[in-house]
Amino acid sequence: MLSRRQKARTKAHMPEKNQASARLKLALIVAFCTLPSLAEGSAVLWGERHGYTGKALRDGLDFWAGGFLLLHHQLSVLFDHEAYQSFLQGMYGHLPYHLWSYPPTYGLLATAFGWLSPWQAALSFDALSLLFLALVLRLAGKSWWFIVAVLLAPAALENTLEYQNAALVTALIGGGLLLAQSCPRLGGTLIGLASFKPQLGLVLPLYLLSRSPVAFFYAALAVVVLAAASLFAFGPAAWVGFWHYTRPMMSNVLLTGQPKDFAGGLISMFASVKPLVGLRGALVLQGMVSLACIVAGLSTRSVPVMLILSALASPYLHVYDLLGTSLAVALLVEQRLAAGWFGVGEPLLFFLAWFVPGLLPWYPAYAHLVPILLFLLLASAKRRGGFGACESSPAHPGSPVLPAGQSPIPAPPESITPG
């Protein structure tokens, strides 16, 4: 028989053992979910080693090219499809469709890397974006267990493999939402800096205006300062080119589904229902969903709910954009573990929402199921006060969760053979 003191010690150690057990299980799940993306990464490495460097760079090539051309005042190339394709193919040979698809505000960031070689620009941008995401989450009070889990999420790995900006956007929007209540000036500024990707911020302006006018003011100020800086850096011609060339091109991608290299990876409500109800029906349905998400955002203080609403409201959504949703899943798991309960079916739902971004590149036919998964996740996030008190408090220590210039184009900063 155990003495009273021994029983008390046993009880005191039980929470630590339970926490260690939960931490181990979650670590194994996180590691398992990385397998599809790791296999994809090995395919990218194979392509790079066998002369398909341009294809292996994926969207990183556009990030570098946009920065390089803006840095050297080559707007006539940036805003001319044939000239842009010729510029890239002169370096790498035949390539899939490429297009600079961002406003000049994003060009401010791209030019900071435009002096590097394409690979150096893509890899350093990836690394710095992940570091920035980690720092923002740490500033928001999240544990290192939580941060490592988010950085290893399949959506984060897909973002890295595509050399996209979802890690940066998640740091700005997700971190901004987490900090908006405790540090409204910083939180609002972060959200405003994400304005180069406005389709992911449809639900944010009214939410900030109703919940934190100070954060809304600093977000608006950040947008204005960013636009003014890009105008000063690149001149009005960059905004004219964006408005008359880039904006119509991206609208055409969304509405016509062409070229498939751009439109084929869309996973939004609009893209999912368009084959069933046609263009007009898809526009109406997406408009209704986006409006409903904006209205729902006025009724919540929940960061996970806002991140899910942001994804549902966007008509232009790719797999890597689900990193914000993965952050929402990590926050929900953290909350459920702290409360000591999961709702019926929630563990499976959270697992699927976490795992699916890594599977979609292998099974793109199931992309139309993503909106359903997001709606189920939203219903789960609303349970037990999802539309109630602010959920941006720090995690408990030890949390187990997770016209352009006419001068010749300068030679790129590395010697490249077509492949």
Rounded Cα distance between 58 and 41, Å, is 12
Identify residue 222 by its one-letter amino acid code. A
For residue range 202-239, what is the model confidence (pLDDT) as tens digits? 999 999 999 999 999 999 999 999 999 999 999 999 99
Domains in the chain: boundaries:
21-45+125-381
Model pLDDT, residue 253: 83
Rounded Cα distance between 265 and 364, Å, is 8
Output the pTM of the full model. 0.87
- Listed residue (307, 318, 301) closest to 374, CA to CA: 307
Identify residue 277 by its one-letter amino acid code. V
Residues of the chain with pLDDT > 90: what percent? 65
Rounded Cα distance between 24 and 236, Å, is 55
Whether the link from the prior residue into 259 is cis, omega within 30° of 0, is yes
Q: Which residue is it, tokens 């006018």? A: 213
Cα distance from N-terminal residue to C-terminal residue, the chain: 75
Rounded Cα distance between 75 and 226, Å, is 19
* Cβ neighbours around 213 below 10 Å, total: 12
Rounded Cα distance between 15 and 17, Å, is 5
Model pLDDT, residue 398: 39
Angle between helices 104-111 and 213-234 (to 10 degrees): 70
Q: Which residue is it, tokens 């449809």? A: 202
Residue 405 scores a pLDDT above 60: no
For residue range 246-292, what is the model confidence (pLDDT) as tens digits? 999 888 888 887 777 666 688 999 999 999 999 999 999 999 999 99
State the average pLDDT for the chain.
86
For residue range 125-174, what is the model confidence (pLDDT) as tens digits? 999 999 999 999 999 999 999 999 999 999 999 999 999 999 999 999 99
Cα 131 vs. chain centroid, distance in angstroms?
14
Rounded Cα distance between 326 and 77, Å, is 37
Q: What are φ and ψ of residue 172, in 5° steps? A: -75, -50
